[in-house]
Amino acid sequence: MTLISDHAFRIFLSATTAGVGGLWIIHELVLIARLRGADRRDPQVRDQWFGYAVGILIGVIGIVGTLRFNGVL
């Protein structure tokens, strides 16, 4: 029992994952840019840097996974 064809489902998964991954990277880069000039010795600021870096990594994993899914990598 399916909702859409397998091909359309594959496209939906790829577009959603790569799209969200790309937007996630841009979002985190904007947040990191806003932290410029902040005191890096402040533990709160370091937490934010770490969190945003993790966000970028997750976005990259999403895009790499999509490329693997489609046989590009």
Binding site for another protein (CB under 8 A): 1-4, 9, 13, 17, 20, 43-44, 47-48, 50-52, 54-55, 57-58, 61-62, 64-66, 68-69
Reading the block at residue 38, the tokens are 């902040």
Cβ 40 to another protein shortest distance, Å: 15
Cβ 39 to another protein shortest distance, Å: 13
Measure Cα distances from 33 to 5, 56, 57, 68, 69 in Å: 42, 13, 16, 30, 32
Cβ 33 to another protein shortest distance, Å: 15
The sign one gets for the Cα dihedral 41, 43, 57, 31 is negative
